[in-house]
Structure 1
Amino acid sequence: MALPNIFTQAVADEVINRINQLKPDTTPNWGKMDVAQMLAHCNVTYEMVYENTHPKPNFLMKFILKSFVKRIVTNETPYKHNSQTAPVFLIKGSRDFEKEKRRLIDYINKTSAAGEASFDNKMSLSFGALNKQEWNNMFYKHLDHHLTQFGV
């Protein structure tokens, strides 16, 4: 079953509506992150696309990521609860809820406005070139996983 297309405005709006239901004191159904940390965690995916703040993996790490992790991240199978994450996605310390929420909404809108065609065969920092379906699955599945984690 295909995942909803995050590049369409209707799906982007649905996800943003879910984000807007979060409150600074929303508690998770599983996991260790608080809601502000979760939003910052979700922003990392977009930072890797739009910002130059994360180091590129070395040759060996990129080989491992492409060979073993890419399929898990870009397929349609939902993530399991309490799955391990890459070190760059680990958020330590407190974060500003409103700031992280606004950043995430802005990234989602920017991605939707760019459209799926701009992501077809676009290079991923971790996985190399991804087609538009792989980008969609990665973006949507990750957001859906964490919004479900926080009950929205």
Structure 2
Amino acid sequence: MKTIFDETARKELIDRIEKLGVRNEARWGEMNVSQMLKHCTLYDAWMLGKNNPRYKQTFLGRLFGKRALKDMIGNEKPLKHHIPTLDFLKKTDTDENITAQKEKWIELIKEFEHFSNPNFIHTFCGKMTKEQIGRLNYKHTDHHLRQFGV
């Protein structure tokens, strides 16, 4: 299975990000390309432990998180459309241009080469192994790039 920790997979994702532009329209969902870029940079920064995030699993996550994680990363299938977004990762406006947002996201993806965040706890899925983090991050990135046709 593909993982963000694999150099070839990171390069493939970066190549796809570089193809994004203002003309890319969402095939599903409500975000525009700028909002998606902001969402994904926030998501990756959160996973990397940037900006001193508070990690705490929700009550529903404690009940259903492990099963949801298994469903999401237990096979090669892409993530389903319309998966709920964590509230703190929802962005309706952005003040950056797309080129700057893409550069920021690419830099974050490159940082996964040296990933070390043992404190990471997914808000819904809970404590995850490095292998699980790698698979989920790859699938999340792929999901949003497919959303915009790249």
- Smaller-chain TM-score bracket: 0.7 to 0.9
Identify if the C-alpha distance between structure 1 residues 58 and 135 changes in structure 2 by more than 3 Å, giving closer, same or farther: closer
Greater relative contact order structure (CA < 8 Å, 6+ sep) = 2
Aligned pairs (5 A) from 1:74-93 = 74-76=73-75, 77-93=77-93
Deviations 1:108-142 (A, max 9, x none): 10112x15xx46xx332324432222011111000
Aligned to 1:131: 129
Identify if the C-alpha distance between structure 1 residues 61 and 98 changes in structure 2 by more than 3 Å, giving closer, same or farther: farther
Deviations 1:47-89 (A, max 9, x none): 2123135443366366357455443454434321122111112
Unaligned runs of 5+ in 2: none
Tell me, in whole angstroms, the C-alpha distance in 1 between the residues paired with 2:17 and 2:104: 11
* Aligned residue type for 2:87: P
Q: How many residues align?
A: 145
Mean Cα deviation higher: 83-92 or 94-103: 94-103
Quick check: 2:26–2:33 contact (8 Å CA) kept in 1?
Answer: yes
For normalisation by structure 2, the TM-score amounts to 0.80
Deviation at 1:24, TM superposition (A): 2.3
Tell me, in whole angstroms, the C-alpha distance in 1 between the residues paired with 2:28 and 2:57: 32
Aligned to 1:100: 101
Aligned to 1:12: 10
Quick check: 1:35–1:150 contact (8 Å CA) kept in 2?
Answer: yes
Tell me, in whole angstroms, the C-alpha distance in 2 between the residues paired with 1:78 and 1:43: 20
Deviations 1:85-109 (A, max 9, x none): 1111211113422222111100110
- Is 1:52 the counterpart of 2:51 in the alignment? yes
Runs of 4+ in 1 over 6 A off after TM superposition: none
User: Identity of aligned pairs, percent?
Assistant: 26
For normalisation by structure 1, the TM-score amounts to 0.79
Deviation at 1:12, TM superposition (A): 0.8
Unaligned runs of 5+ in 1: none
Aligned to 1:143: 141
Aligned to 2:30: 32
* Aligned residue type for 2:81: H
Tell me, in whole angstroms, the C-alpha distance in 1 between the residues paired with 2:53 and 2:68: 18
